[in-house]
DNA sequence: GATGAATGAGGGTTCATTCAT
DNA sequence: TATGAATGAACCCTCATTCAT
């Protein structure tokens, strides 16, 4: 029990370190040694906790997603109406803690590996499915069935596109502009809701 | 003169080979040897034409973008009205020759390197600037000034998001669904144009 | 006293485990961790009882030899005549419990280390000396002095050669064929004894 | 052609170096670096010519066997009668160039890996088959059919056993004593031939 | 221009061994 | 006694790059 505790802490530290290295170095430059260095341990200990480099970065990807997921969950808890729930999903994807150049770069680096790493693909699929499920649930009370699918796709695509831009052109975008974009889209698609009100509250909270 | 000609052909072959290797292997797995093999030459010749591996993949990125650019240019030549021009830009980004899983993966792999490769960043910036300029020009006759910026951002973000999806979840999307998405967005944003007509024509052409 | 007893049991378990790992993994693949795993303990405990990996496998070699030695001793106790004693030595080397592919492989793996491991060489020398002494004693009443040396050498070489074959080509040999070989040799060398009778009894016992 | 030539020379050097390292260091201590050092090249070049360490030592084993085989072939060419052919096989296995402690150790080291290395096993099987075939041919005119198998087994086992002894107890044996042993055995098994005459000539030749 | 030989740095991984608990 | 955390050395292998032919 005690041992498991220590081991769990180390694993957390290491996957966090791996994630941070990923942000600055990309996948190609993320060596086990750098991760060990950032975690303040030896190279050997990394392999003590993660059999392989791939496993380490799989856990880094889980770590990455869990941060975002927790943010969304927290916001959704406070949501009372369908539009609040939808907005919570969107706002959660642009929290200022996560919507940063470094994190978007790490996300991009992991995405680029997905096509050749079945495990990463699996994680990606799960994350994607959860996102879609959340969206569809929220949309179910806002739109007729035949429109939901398309809107869910548009929302996720927009979010991904904005994340990509934050990664590639950090200076040209901010959480504020990103949320404004989302608001604009929603305003046209689901006009009976006052999405600007949501945006205003989000800005006030930040 | 003759030699230069031959040399130019070799360079073209090599950057093409590099691009193809990138599609299947990603940046991490793209070695000089694999590129040489795909081009049917020796490893030494690659370094004869490209001083360094980085340079090779910079040219591969240029090659990648030039293909897309040529497609857009060709479509724009046939455009007569502002909305045709705007549609040409969009349609050009989802031509079935380019909007494929392999190519989207290569694009993704290159994007992921941008943050740490100033040269790639430079190319990316140029490409991005051209895209934006084209969009703004086309929008200048379709929207009042204060809306153009936001719409241009939305369009590029949507396109990028849809490309990303093609890279990550190839089975879930097609050029047709992508163009439908773009049509939906434009229909809300610039309602006085019959974008479905554009979509129909694109479908017929394909 | 009690502790020593427990500690002795642990050491026995560990050297036995080491020996078993050796059978399947060879010297190169025999890691301390695998030994610990097979013994059902932790890696640390191995080093608690055996200061070093070399020591562990020295004891494994002793374990290996002691098994064979005990078998020979048991058979020799029942021997009444010189030829029975000689036969006991030979039969003991091909008891079906020991003359197995796995055990022959472990023996081979240890032999291969002898040239570079003085401790293993020492053990090997002792074992060899005992074998030779036993043989010479038995032969002393069967052959004139000037022949004993050569016959002892032939017997040991034949035995080793047959063990080697069991290790390398397990399917091509059995205890029965090995004993027949030995019988053939003895029949020519010491013709006044009916070695086939010994062979028959050994077969009946098995 | 020229290149192949150079490459072939390097490969020969390297497998020879590998074989020599094997003699002094055993399989466990035979590192790629030591082989490179002994060959006077860099570590990288070893992998340029042999994809993997295993492959390198497979070729080393082939090298080892080819030396012995060539010796036997040379002797067999001069053989005119069945008994000369049989003796050629035996004498070839105890030529003073090969029947040395170092070479017997290398042989032992390779044998010990056979059970876990399919490729080595394959080579071993081929070598063994050739040996057996040679023996059976030579014996076909010396013994009735029902005895040949057993005698062939005895001869190979004796040879192996004597090689093992040379590896483990170099001081206790020599080519001369080994050949005497073989002579003794043959004298009993195939008494109508004067094997001592063969032995004498071998001694005179050496 | 073209080839592949050669190098050397660096990466992932394994493993014996030591130590703190 | 027993565990497994931690280290560091060493090994195999990859690869970009340089060079000689």
Q: How far apart are CA B180 and CA B56, in angstroms?
A: 36
pLDDT computed for residue D194 by the predictor = 95
**Alpha-carbon distances of C101 from C111, C157, C176, rounded to whole Å:** 15, 18, 14
Q: Look up tokens 């857009």; give the residue.
A: B72
DSSP assigned state of A117 = -
Q: How far apart are CA B181 and CA A157, in angstroms?
A: 10
Residue C5: pLDDT over 80: no
Note whether D139 and D155 are within 8 A (CB): no
Residue of D147, D200, D142 whose CA lies nearest to D176: D200
Q: How far apart are CA C148 and CA C190, in angstroms?
A: 11
What whole-number percentage of chain B has pLDDT above 70?
A: 98
pLDDT computed for residue A2 by the predictor = 46
| CB-nearest partner of B113 from A26, A125, A188 | A26
Helices D82-92/D195-205 angle, 10° precision: 50
User: Cβ-count burial of A108 within 10 angstroms (0-12 exposed, 13-18 middle, 19+ buried)?
Assistant: buried
Length of chain D: 206
Name the nucleotide nearest A54; use CA and C1'.
Answer: E12
Residue B206: pLDDT over 70: no
D-contacting chains (≥3 CB pairs under 8 Å)? C
A-contacting chains (≥3 CB pairs under 8 Å)? B
Average predicted confidence (pLDDT) for chain C: 94
pLDDT computed for residue D157 by the predictor = 98
How far, in Å, is the CA of D9 from the C1' of nucleotide E1?
27
User: Cβ-count burial of A2 within 10 angstroms (0-12 exposed, 13-18 middle, 19+ buried)?
Assistant: exposed
Chain E, protein-covered positions (CB within 7 A): 1-21
Note whether A104 and A24 are within 8 A (CB): no
Alpha helices in chain B (DSSP H): 2-29, 32-39, 43-49, 53-77, 82-92, 101-113, 118-139, 145-168, 175-189, 195-205
pLDDT computed for residue D2 by the predictor = 46
Q: How far apart are CA C13 and CA C39, in angstroms?
A: 6
Assigned token pair, C171: 């399917």
Torsion of Cα atoms, A108 then A114 then A120 then A121, to 10°? 120
Contacts of D111 in chain C (CB under 8 A): 108, 112, 164, 167-168
Note whether B6 and B48 are within 8 A (CB): no
Q: How far apart are CA D93 and CA D97, in angstroms?
A: 10
Q: What is the largest CA-CA distance in chain C?
A: 59
DSSP assigned state of D135 = H
Q: Helix, strand or coil for residue B96?
A: coil
Asked if the C-beta of B67 comes within 8 angstroms of chain A's C-beta atoms, the answer is no
Distance linking the first and last C-alpha atoms of chain D: 40
Q: How far apart are CA C104 and CA C174, in angstroms?
A: 12
pLDDT average, residue stretch B156-185: 97
Q: Helix, strand or coil for residue D197?
A: helix
Q: Residue B205's pLDDT band (boundaries 50, 70, 90)?
A: confident
pLDDT average, residue stretch B83-102: 96
Asked if the C-beta of D9 comes within 8 angstroms of chain C's C-beta atoms, the answer is no
Q: What are the residues whose beta carbons fall under 8 Å from the beta carbon of C29, sequence distance 6 or more?
A: D116
Note whether A142 and A86 are within 8 A (CB): yes
Residue of D140, D142, D143, D185 whose CA lies nearest to D162: D185
Query: How many CB atoms sit inside 10 A of residue B166's CB?
Result: 26
Asked if the C-beta of D28 comes within 8 angstroms of chain C's C-beta atoms, the answer is yes
Report the Cα A84 to chain-centroid distance in Å: 19
Assigned token pair, C151: 């016959």
A35 or B1: which leads in pLDDT: A35
Assigned token pair, D26: 């055993």
pLDDT tens across D155-179, in order? 999 999 999 999 999 999 999 999 9
Query: How many CB atoms sit inside 10 A of residue A166's CB?
Result: 26
pLDDT computed for residue C1 by the predictor = 45
Chain A to chain B Cβ contacts (< 8 Å): 122
Q: How far apart are CA C160 and CA C174, in angstroms?
A: 14
C43 touches strand E (CB under 7 A): yes
pLDDT tens across A125-161, in order? 999 999 999 999 999 999 999 999 999 999 999 999 9
Exposure on the CB side of residue B142, measured as CA atoms within 13 A = 25
pLDDT computed for residue D127 by the predictor = 97
How far, in Å, is the CA of D48 from the C1' of nucleotide F10?
21
Residue of A41, A113, A10 whose CA lies nearest to A32: A41
pLDDT average, residue stretch C89-106: 96
Contacts of A109 in chain B (CB under 8 A): 112
Q: Which residue is nearest to nucleotide E19 (CA to C1')?
A: C44
Residue D200: pLDDT over 50: yes
Buried b (16+ CB within 10 A) or exposed e, B10-24: beebbbbbbbbbbbe
Q: Residue D131's pLDDT band (boundaries 50, 70, 90)?
A: very high
B130 or D6: which leads in pLDDT: B130
Report the Cα A124 to chain-centroid distance in Å: 10
Q: How far apart are CA A137 and CA B9, in angstroms?
A: 55
Q: Which residue is nearest to nucleotide F6 (CA to C1')?
A: A45
Note whether D30 and D38 are within 8 A (CB): no
CB-based contacts of B31-36 (< 8 A; 24+ apart in sequence):
B32/B56
CB-based contacts of D169-175 (< 8 A; 24+ apart in sequence):
D169/C125, D169/C128, D170/D101, D170/D104, D173/C153, D175/D94, D175/D95, D175/D96, D175/D99, D175/D206
Verify whether the Cβ–Cβ distance A150 to B181 is below 8 Å: yes
Q: What are phi and psi of C49, to 5 degrees?
A: -95, -25
Asked if the C-beta of C29 comes within 8 angstroms of chain D's C-beta atoms, the answer is yes
Q: What are phi and psi of D85, to 5 degrees?
A: -65, -45
Q: How far apart are CA B42 and CA C81, in angstroms?
A: 78
Q: What are the residues whose beta carbons fall under 8 Å from the beta carbon of D29, sequence distance 6 or more?
A: C116
Torsion of Cα atoms, A32 then A34 then A36 then A42, to 10°? 90
Q: How close is the nearest chain C Cα to the Cα of D114, in Å?
A: 7
Q: Look up tokens 């004894």; give the residue.
A: C193
Q: How far apart are CA B158 and CA A155, in angstroms?
A: 9
Exposure on the CB side of residue C52, measured as CA atoms within 13 A = 4
Q: Look up tokens 């050796």; give the residue.
A: C22
Looking at chain D from residue 114 to 133, which residues have their Cβ under 8 Å from any Cβ of chain C? 114-116, 121, 124-125, 128
Buried b (16+ CB within 10 A) or exposed e, C45-66: ebeebbeeeeebbbbbbbbbbe
C-contacting chains (≥3 CB pairs under 8 Å)? D
Note whether D112 and C112 are within 8 A (CB): yes
Average predicted confidence (pLDDT) for chain A: 95
DSSP B104-157: HHHHHHHHHHGGG-HHHHHHHHHHHHHHHHHHHHHHTTTS-HHHHHHHHHHHHH
Looking at chain B from residue 30 to 59, which residues have their Cβ under 8 Å from any Cβ of chain A? none
pLDDT computed for residue A4 by the predictor = 64
Q: Model pTM?
A: 0.92
Q: Which residue is nearest to nucleotide E11 (CA to C1')?
A: A31
Residue C184: pLDDT over 70: yes
Torsion of Cα atoms, C19 then C25 then C30 then C35, to 10°? -50
Listed range (A5-14, B78-87, C49-58, C115-124) with the worst mean pLDDT? A5-14
pLDDT average, residue stretch B110-134: 97
Query: How many CB atoms sit inside 10 A of residue B152's CB?
Result: 20
DSSP A59-72: HHHHHHHHHHHHHH
Residue D22: pLDDT over 70: yes
């Amino acid at each position: 029990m005690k041992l498991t505790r220590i081991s769990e802490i180390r694993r957390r530290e290491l996957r966090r370190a791996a994630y941070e290295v990923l942000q600055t170095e990309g996948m190609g430059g993320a060596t086990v040694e750098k991760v060990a260095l950032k975690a303040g341990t030896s190279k050997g200990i990394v392999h003590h906790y993660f059999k392989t480099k791939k496993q380490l970065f799989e856990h880094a990807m889980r770590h990455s997603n869990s941060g975002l997921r927790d943010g969304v969950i927290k916001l959704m808890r406070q949501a009372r109406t369908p539009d609040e729930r939808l907005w919570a999903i969107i706002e959660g994807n642009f929290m200022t803690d996560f919507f940063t150049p470094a994190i978007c770069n790490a996300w991009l680096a992991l995405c680029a590996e997905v096509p050749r790493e079945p495990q990463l693909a699996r994680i990606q699929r799960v994350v994607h499915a959860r996102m879609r499920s959340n969206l569809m649930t929220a949309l179910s009370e806002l739109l007729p069935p035949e429109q939901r699918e398309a809107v869910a796709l548009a929302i996720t695509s927009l979010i991904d596109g904005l994340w990509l831009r934050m990664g590639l052109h950090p200076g040209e975008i901010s959480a504020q502009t990103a949320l404004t974009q989302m608001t604009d889209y929603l305003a046209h698609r689901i006009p009976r809701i006052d999405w600007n009100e949501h945006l205003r509250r989000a800005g006030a909270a930040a």
